[in-house]
Amino acid sequence: LIMDDEDDYMSESILAKCADVRPGIIAPSVARRYKVQTDKVTADLLNRQLKSGERERILRETALETAIDERNKGFLMLKKMGFTPGSALGKRPSNSELHKGNEHLKEPLKLVLKNDRMGLGHEDEEAKRAKEMAEAMRREKERLNKEYKERNRKRSNYQSLVKTFSAAQKTCYNLDISNDSDAAPLETWYWPWFAIKKNDNLEDEDDPVKEKAHVELPESVLCRRLDELKMYLRTKYNYCIWCCVHYQSEDDMIESCPGENEDEHD
């Protein structure tokens, strides 16, 4: 209950005693102090969020982007020596082309920070060694890649050679038997191994080493044997291993076959 001699909290007398602190009527000095405090709190919060190195970088870049105050003693001394803001240092050359080449002098030298304790020039040596190492690794990788491709090429060529030689052996066997059922190979390797076993009644003998003997031959030996077998088939049967055609006569083969070598059949 409110006594008759007590003022109501909403009465004019109570409200008149309250300080009017509406923003529009704050004293200028109070407003400045409030702004300074607010900016400081914001800056402190930002600084806490940034690492020390990042703060240094921001402050450094801000300082570098800020022009020297004209009241600076060094700036005043430069002005007395004839320097004007926005111009290059030094005497301007009379030749306009030379002047164009000196335009970069208007830009201050870039600040290069050294963040380690290595001596001057050490970083250049480190960078040089790293570059040399990277170049050596690149060359080694290129060499290994080249060797890998060369091995694959040789393996592919050898497999193709073995396949062609095996086909020529089978053709030679079939043509020899067709011509004479009791025929024997001129050379043992003219026929495939299974035909040699059959011809010599060696059906029960199982010798995979002999059967695949030509696969293990050096490429030079295999090429020589293929060349000899090729000429045997051409001269005796008018057969071309590259055309895979049994011609009717030598004249027919000469007229229709491009030549003795594989590259002539491309």
* Distance between CA atoms of residues 54 and 47, nearest Å: 9
Structure tokens at 226: 């293929």
Q: Is residue 15 part of a domain?
A: no
Tens digits of per-residue pLDDT, 50-62?
666 677 778 888 8
Containing structural domain, residue 250: 162-265
pLDDT confidence bin for 174, thresholds 50/70/90: very high
So what's the pLDDT on residue 209?
A: 46
How far apart, in whole angstroms, are the C-alpha atoms of residue 199 and residue 189?
A: 13
Residue of 122 and 162 predicted with greater confidence: 162
Report pTM. 0.49
Domain assignment of residue 213, yes or no = yes
d(CA 155, CA 133): 33
Total domains present in the chain: 1
Domain assignment present for residue 232? The answer is yes
Nearby residues of 242 by Cβ (< 8 Å), 6 or more positions away: 257, 258, 261, 262, 264, 265
Is 56 among the domain residues?
no
Residue 17 has pLDDT above 80, yes or no: no
Rounded to an integer, what distance in angstroms lies between the CA atom of residue 190 and that of residue 167? 11
**Is residue 196 assigned to a domain?**
yes
Cα–Cα nearest to 159, from 212, 210, 234, 230: 212
**Which residue do the tokens 């870049």 mark?**
61
* Residue 241 and residue 166 in contact, taking contact as beta carbons nearer than 8 Å: no
Token duo for residue 177: 């038997």
Q: pLDDT tier at 1 (50, 70, 90 boundaries)?
A: very low
Do the domain assignments include residue 228? yes
Q: Is the pLDDT of residue 123 over 50?
A: yes
User: What value does the mean pLDDT take over residues 68-77?
Assistant: 83
Residue 92 has pLDDT above 70, yes or no: no
Mean pLDDT, residues 89-113 taken together: 60
- At 214, is the pLDDT very low, low, confident or very high (cuts 50, 70, 90)? low
The verdict on residue 188 lying in a domain is yes
In a domain, 257, yes or no: yes
